[in-house]
Structure 1
Amino acid sequence: MAKRKKRARARIPKDQRQNLRLWAEGAREQVLKPHLDKYAFERDLGWVKERAYLQKVCNEYHARIDWRLEDHEEPMLGPWDPDALVEAESLPDDEEIEKRKRIKLLNKRIRRWFTYRIQRRRNLASGLNPHKDPFAILLTKLTGLTAPPKARQAYQQFMHESHAEKIAPVVAERWAEARASNDPTTAGRKEPKAGFRARSSRNFLAKRKPQSQNEQRTRRPRRKRHTMQR
């Protein structure tokens, strides 16, 4: 595997960035990265296991990194004991509300951090896209598998079913009108293009649709009203 090329220039400092890309770079990543493999494993077991392990990671993150730190400020990490009790802070009501909002935001950001890296890792490990892999395409042809035909649109189905008796006369009439008016699309052509025929079919079907609906309503048998005998 080829070595990754070194960056030609240094990264922009966090306090000068205009987005949150690579927000966890540095000490925050040191807290999250050791849990990546375990989180991916728990995620495959279902959302219950995923949320339980995510809560464990978030508890460690907030215990080691103060929620008051700004995104560009680098925290100082100390030794971590997962069995140690974390004392709850006694804060005023307004500051407690601010803390909950901040922690909720960080928890969502942590989950997105894990999800992005898991998906990127699996995309790199999966190899070529099967729709672009020449061996997969060849194998599909050899097995005789074919993609299902694309469904026709309404005007295409109408052209397919009623071309000779309904569409062809309309196309011929409009083609004659276009040639009589010296339409540029008729220059040097004896017969209309497929686009002209399709456009004529769409216009004819659009005008005919309300009429056909009225015909269906008139053809629909009416129900007899039963009158009660007094």
Structure 2
Amino acid sequence: MGAGRGIFFGVSVGPGDPELLTRKACRVLEACPVIGAAQTARGEQLALSIARRAVDLTGKEILSLPFSMARDLSVRQAAWRRAAAMVRQVLDRGQDVAMVVLGDVSIYSTYCYLMELLREEGYETEMIPGVASFSAVAARLGVSLTTMEEPLHILPASQQAQWEGLTLPGTKVLMKSGRNLKDLVEKLAETGQLEQAVLVANCGLDQEMVCTDLRALPEGAGYYTTILVKE
């Protein structure tokens, strides 16, 4: 795809169901010789496992990119720089890299941190959009996210400082809620919104869970938990 230096693609793979990958996402993954995938400290590569169920990646180089979930920003930034350096080495040898990303690449995506670092150095980048987790959650529940009169607010529920957004009018999407789930449920009860809240964990994956009564939280609702709060 690229000439000289390679191109750094961010490829959205959706929240879990491999059938939600777009045709463009599949085409880029098929064409790129190197697939980048974020890897947790425990070795998990969820985005890569989803992509493998949609596209045959046999024979491709897999570039495992370690990243950090530390609360300390400097620790996370150091991980981004290390990952960007790994991608840079491949791009400099003239090969394209397609980094697979959960959900949509423009929403809370590790790719975007690397993209900014590499763009500053003159590398070509391209984002391939996809299905956001909250869109899949709304479809799973059979509800609309908004009407013409209602705003939509996307809040990172892993950051308690953002919970002040619960007072905003309209629909609230609380993403990655698992880490602070019990505290968040208490806050929803405090603001009188518990009855309007629905939880979906691991949407589109084998471990998917739906909870319509947050007073009885399901076991195992971890990091990939999304809560919709409808007025």
Q: Same fold (TM over 0.5)?
A: no
TM range (shorter): under 0.3
Rg comparison, structure with higher value: 1
Whose relative contact order is higher, 1 or 2, with alpha carbons under 8 Å and at least 6 apart?
2
- So what's the TM-score if we normalise by structure 1? 0.23
- So what's the TM-score if we normalise by structure 2? 0.23
